[in-house]
Amino acid sequence: MKTTTARGSGAESGEFPTRSQLAALRAWYAGLSARVAVAQYLGQSRATGQSSRTILGGIRRQLAQYARRRHRDDLASLITHPAAEREERARAVRDAIEKLQQLGVPVPVVTDAVDRWLPARAARALQGCGIRTLADLTVRVPRRRRWWAAVPGLGARSARQIEEFFAANPVLTERARALVVTPRTEISPWEHLIVPQEVDGSRGTFRAPQATCTLSAQDDYQAVQAWLSLQESAATQRAYRKEAERLMLWAILERGKALSSLTTEDAIAYRAFLRRPSPQERWVGPARPRTSSEWRPFQGALAPRSIAYALSVIGALYRWLIEQRYALANPFAGVKVKGARRSGAFDGSRVFTEHDWTLIRSTADGIEWIGGWSREGAQRLRFVLDFWYATGLRPSEMADARLGDIEHDAQGDVWLSVVGKGLKYGRVALPLLARCALDQYLAQRGLPVTPAHWSPKTALIPGLAEDETGIGASRLWSVMRRFFLHAAHALEKVNASTADKLGRATPHWMRHTHATHALARGAELVTVRDNLRHASVATTSVYLHTDEVKRARQMGEAFPARSSGAA
């Protein structure tokens, strides 16, 4: 559908005036009266019953609308001057008309007002619901087939015109087309979301007075970004961003509200949503990069402990916003999660047993000959497995480690300096397994093994060509998950139990396995606590109870069956 047919004709449509209309307008600017100018060049228009001034005014409005369609509001305001300023504006208006004649086909942008492009009746109905710009429309068009039924005064015919308008103007971005032309199934990271003022928080229901706010943020997104910038740890910032982004997307797309307008009832509804994100096609999907069209905020429903963590992060965000006098209240205060209390016993299914680890490590040997793994990628994988197993580092600590972080003390012991959770500095012992794995991998990379010849900035885990942008915690996570799934497939017929674990495993299981095996082999509880950098022995002690097979065997040996000859 052409854009000119979306409106009426003449002044309303924004079409360029005819030669006769321009001649009458130029004659009026040249000094003729409105009556003479219209009679000389538009004599047939007198049959409409309109006065000469009204006819010329309509031509000027038509020119102004034509200018606005082409984003020349400066020329539009020039043309719509008061009639008394005709003589002093005559030359400028003639120049403006010449410029407008040379302009190309108009291209709509998302910041345009809806009445600039859509039929007058449809535009009035949309404006009545607070939809004033095309950006508002891309977000506010509901995610169901009869979306227009929720807009009073907007019928099916007008809705089709709007959909045809977006279909005819793909320059409004693929996102705008997906929102209007097709059923809403896609979702984008918040940095790509076009948010209208009604839901961006600039006028949030529970916004504190701006005069007393310590933030310069104008809306909720800017305020949340300020909160995230406080977190110097990249891993913490990513974790907090995920929870804040999920809530903001849900608030805008499901509740039609700003973050600073949510109520306690909304908070309770969000808790239920986390238990079962729906509709699944919009919210749930496999892990994908944020740039992918398949990106989704969730990989599945959250467990009670994960829900409790999400609400704790959100609660911390709101408390900070209140402290900065940006928001007045925390709607998540008092919202609890049933079944989220941490139990004393650690889930032993998230640990690889000694036998599991033997099978896993054997699978990694020669993996480059199986297919899908480059020689350099296989060498890096084997180093990561041995070094991670021997140190129990966190994924972010593994990715950030550099040769300059390795220290040798006076006793000949080797340590790795790390910055862990909460930006806390710590040292991790490097046992012989870790040092041998590092020496072997450095030699494979063609780097010196002698510490005196090391470059301090050299990463322990390098990026390869297949990584494109280098190695980071997220890329390392992907590499490990890829290997776990490969090993699960390879071991499916050999050991179904190990294969099942590998199918569920995450890289953090390496840390659990390190701690469990260290304690089982006689390492003291305090030693393992310090190496893991736990704040409390109680946190580390959960790994003492993971090997239930061993416990059951020892108790069986302590209380054997009575001999058959006993009285």
- Determine the average pLDDT of the residues in 508-533: 80
pLDDT at site 546: 46
pLDDT in tens, 120-153: 888 888 888 777 777 777 655 544 456 777 678 8
Taking the C-alpha atoms of residue 239 and residue 237, their distance in angstroms, rounded to an integer, is 5
Burial class (CB in 10 A: 0-12, 13-18, 19+), 487: buried
- Evaluate the omega torsion of the peptide bond into residue 279 and state whether it is cis, within 30 degrees of 0: yes
Range of weakest confidence among 67-76, 106-115, 275-284: 106-115
Which pLDDT does position 31 carry in this prediction? 86
Q: What is the mean pLDDT of residues 261-286?
A: 90
Count of alpha carbons within 13 angstroms of residue 167, beta-carbon side: 11
Q: How many CB atoms lie within 10 A of CB 551?
A: 12
* Span 504-527, average pLDDT: 82
Task: Calculate the average pLDDT of the chain.
Answer: 80
pLDDT band at 248 (very low <50, low <70, confident <90, very high): very high
**CA distance linking residue 301 with residue 425, whole number of Å:** 35
Residue among 163, 118, 143, 155 at smallest CA distance from 131: 118
Q: Are 38 and 52 in contact (CB under 8 A)?
A: yes
pLDDT confidence band for 166 (50 / 70 / 90): confident
pLDDT of res. 7: 35
Q: Which domains does the chain have, with CATH numbers?
A: 19-102 (no CATH), 114-180 (no CATH), 190-324 (no CATH), 354-551 (1.10.443.10)
Mean pLDDT of 345-372: 80
- Express as a percent the part of the chain with pLDDT over 70: 81
Given this model, what pLDDT does residue 117 score? Answer: 78
Residues in the chain, overall count = 567
